[in-house]
Amino acid sequence: MIKKIHTEYFKGFKKQDFELGPISLLAGPNNSGKSTLLQAVMVWNLAMQKWCEKKGPGSGSKATDRQGAPITRPEFSALPLPSMDQLWKDTHTSLRKDEVEGKPAGSPRPMVISLTGETQTGTHWQFGFEFRYSGPEQIHVKPVVSDLENLELARQQVSVIYIPPFSGIGVNETRHDRPFQDMLVGQGKGGDILRNLLLEVAEKSDKEWNELEEIVARIFHYKLLRPKYHGAPYITCQYLKGIPEGRGNGGLAPLDVSTAGSGFHQVLLILAFLFARPSSLILLDEPDAHLHVILQKELYDLLRSLCNARRSQLLIATHSEVLIESTSPHSILSFYREPHKLSENTERDSLREALKRVTTFDLLAAEDAKGVLYVEDVTDFELLKAWAMVLEHPLCDWFEGTPFWQNNRGRSPKEARAHFFAMRSVADNLKGLLLLDGDNRQLPDHEVEGDNLTILRWKRYEVESYLLHPDALQRFLEREVGGLMSIQGMDYLRQQMPPAFFENPLAISPVLQAEPASKKLLPEVLQRAGASTRKSEYFLIAKQMLPSELPDEISQKLGQIHKRLS
């Protein structure tokens, strides 16, 4: 079993160790390194094959020549590359100034991939390869000198298959030799060799084929028919939509596997690999793709059972909450922040929430942000921005930069808390501020606050209520529709609001505390005046307000946001 993978300067990793178990789940956002780790094992495996073929024992090469085996880009079937420097972190194949003590800038920067393992008898071994860049079309690979004594042990202990996500299946498929199959797999085209794999299983063992057939019948209630290839240009691989009784097809029409659904294709591809290519280490890239959550769990349980019986090790890159929930934290590698192994159930819960709620944009925003602002709608954000400009508030700089904020879309404040909880799992120093309308007064703060999340509440029913200043509204309407039309809108406002409101518009008004201005009052004022201003444009009203028309509460709220997030 592989216990550890060590990489140096491979793609996105500078120097990184990954501790593995019998099953290891790699979980995290896109482009965080999950597939890169699978690729590191594939590159190590290819290096072992090519070095043994060209320089290893039995190759005919002299011992003094065992300094490096060339691998050309066409030979490099582990993954598609436009140029060999794409294997190196930041494509830097030479050392930069002061990067390594004692080595001048411009010296070769060797890339290293090393595997550490343990045999069933408890013997530990380590074997690594060093890669040197020779040009866009070629690299040289050689074993780490201190590991050479473990060559045979590593060769015996490690056999690798990589199963890419299902990306489609062709209508026709001819027979391909193994090198060509490996090249297609490296390109992520596993579906292009599905029929070849099924044919291998059928030709290899009746027992294996029967077991595969039984699994397909149990999961999908389909009968998988034996593939046929007798010198014809294409492999015939069919199934029946049902399980016939007795011999024959029971009146069911044979259908080509290409006509089935993507979930069937994904599961069948994984099973075909497992039965055709028994291996000690199985690399699975998003096996949950195209699968319903129930089928995800069923496939995962099946994989664990098959691999346990065959003494195979699983390394799975996934986004699936189902797989994460079904796995011990000690078997999960999180790729949020620096890759690290989880240790507690709470960490697994945080990871699951992060995968469900945190977007790639959130991750990028959190890198440079001190905190995140939660508001109930985009209108709230635009009004705050407009008022900050009116008041020439220091928070203007935050708005003009790249503010990290979330639109809670009128959902329960607990949704914002759940998102913040997920964010804290990837940025533990992040602060949060949730600005609530008055309609959430019945929700106790303690049910939402905590974990560095602070709650602020508007004294009026909602943020739009602060647009209802008579002078500001009349000025806006006169500009939009003219003086005569604006009179009708303002007359309606006078009918709805008590005289005290017009005497002191900045005072706390019971009406504006109790009623949502954006639901009827404000839209009716605008409509009666003939203004076509929509809710998404309410910030235009806010932008032409005067500082004297804004209550102190707005300046206070802006100050609290500035102190917390800027």
DSSP structure string for 507-532: SPPHHHHHS-TTTTHHHHHHHHTT--
Residues 74 and 36 in one domain: yes
In a domain, 156, yes or no: no
Domain boundary pick from 123, 151, 179: 151
CB 118 within 8 A of CB 105: no
Mean pLDDT of the region 419-432: 87
Domain boundary among 96, 121, 151: 151
Indicate the number of domains in the chain.
3
User: What CA–CA distance (Å, rounded) separates 317 from 313?
Assistant: 13
Residues 6+ apart with CB under 8 A from 342: 329, 330, 332, 333, 334, 348, 351
Do 131 and 215 lie in a common domain? no
Q: Is pLDDT above 80 for 510?
A: yes
In the prediction, which pLDDT does 447 show? 57
Find, among 216, 169, 146, 185, the residue nearest to 45 by Cα.
185
Cβ-proximal residues to 291 (8 Å cutoff; 6+ apart), any chain: 263, 266, 267, 299
Residue 228 in domain: yes
Q: What is the pLDDT of residue 65?
A: 46
SS3 241: coil
Helix (H) or strand (E) holding 72, with range, is strand 69-72
Contact 287/306 with Cβ under 8 angstroms?
no
Reported as a single tens digit per residue, the pLDDT across 536-565 is 999 999 999 999 999 999 999 999 999 999
CATH code of the domain containing 210 = 3.40.50
Same domain, 135 and 167: no
> Does residue 333 form part of some domain?
no
Mean pLDDT over the full length of the chain = 90
CA distance 559 to 50: 64
Same domain, 43 and 102: yes
Look at residue 281 and tell me whether its pLDDT is greater than 90: yes
- Give per-residue pLDDT as tens, 328-382: 999 999 998 788 999 888 888 888 888 888 887 888 888 888 999 999 999 999 9
In a domain, 424, yes or no: yes
Residue 540 lies in a domain: yes
Tell whether 85 is covered by a domain.
Answer: yes
Judge whether 338 lies within some domain. no
Boundary (domain end) residue, out of 151, 174, 196: 151
Task: Give me the pLDDT at residue 435, please.
Answer: 93
Who has greater pLDDT, 391 or 364? Answer: 391
Whole-number pLDDT of residue 250: 80
300 and 385 share a domain?
A: no
β 371-375/238-240 pair status? unpaired
Indicate the SS3 state at residue 255. Answer: strand
Structural domain for 105, as ranges: 2-20+29-151
Residue 286 identity: E
At 449 the pLDDT is 64
Residue 214, pLDDT score: 95
Same domain, 273 and 372: no
- pLDDT score of 366: 86
User: Which span out of 55-64, 335-344, 467-476 was modeled with the highest average pLDDT?
Assistant: 467-476
Which residue has better confidence, 324 or 59? 324
Q: Which residues contact 364 (CB under 8 A, 6 or more apart)?
A: none
Give pLDDT tens digits for 331-345. Answer: 999 998 788 999 888
* Residue at 334 is within a domain: no
Q: What is the mean pLDDT of residues 99-105?
A: 80
CA dist., res. 510 & res. 407, Å (int):
28
Residues 188 and 64 in one domain: no
- Which pLDDT value is given to residue 62? 63
Residues 464, 385 share a domain: yes
Is the pTM of the predicted complex or chain greater than 0.75?
A: yes
Residue 71 scores a pLDDT above 90? yes
User: Domain check: are 229 and 100 in the same one?
Assistant: no
**Same domain, yes or no: 258 and 380:** no
What is the rounded average pLDDT of the residues 177-195? 91
Q: Report the pLDDT averaged over residues 484-496.
A: 91
Task: Indicate whether 185 and 142 sit together in one domain.
Answer: no
| Judgement on whether residues 199 and 66 belong to the same structural domain of the protein | no
